[in-house]
Amino acid sequence: MKTAVDAFLQGGIIAYPTEAVFGLGCDPDNIEAIEKLLTIKNRPAEKGLILLAANYSQLLPYIDDQKIPQDKRFTVLSRWPDGITQVVPKNNNCHSLLTGKYNSIAVRITSQPDVVALCNQVNKPIVSTSANLSGEEPAKNWRSLSSEFTDQIDFIIKGQTLGYTQPSTIIDALTGEQFRA
């Protein structure tokens, strides 16, 4: 039987619970998987994607940690886990399919147990975007995933969201400016 880890490592698309809604994701280092995800969602590549991780160290290969000033570091880290996606400087190795047209990348640390387990087993973050076609309402649980998705998804983690009522707030990690409330 295929597991979420198998699907992730084989370049598959995974549906999984986040804090408020179901997400779709894949290996952030597998360009073919990211392209497939963008196609399934009908999402423009220039918008960029979120990385969802179990801990900060999993984000280090994608962000430019040196550009986060020491006096801001505590504030950035204290906003996690859950509910707040932070836009941070990207590093030079970060693929443009993850960052879109930006010189930054959106990242979040979660305590959602299924996502934490997956990220810890593969020792990296998962790409995260809501499980819906661009512009439509995201699925709140695995049963409400669109059949358009379920036919194209390689694995569904049938867990529960953390029960948040709104998708994550997206802010600039360094300035606190809100992009999505």
Number of domains composing the chain: 1
The token duo for 95 is 């693929």
Check residue 181 and give its pLDDT.
65
CATH code at position 49: 3.90.870.10
Q: Which domain holds residue 50?
A: 4-180
Check residue 82 and give its pLDDT.
84
* Burial (CB count <10 Å: 0-12, 13-18, 19+), residue 8: buried
Please write the tens of the pLDDT for every residue from 10-58.
Answer: 999 999 999 999 999 999 999 999 999 999 988 889 999 999 999 999 9
Please write the tens of the pLDDT for every residue from 147-169.
Answer: 877 888 999 899 898 888 887 88
Query: Among 160, 106, 98, 126, which residue's Cα sits nearest to residue 4?
Result: 126
Helix (H, G, I), strand (E, B) or coil at 10: coil
pTM of the model: 0.91
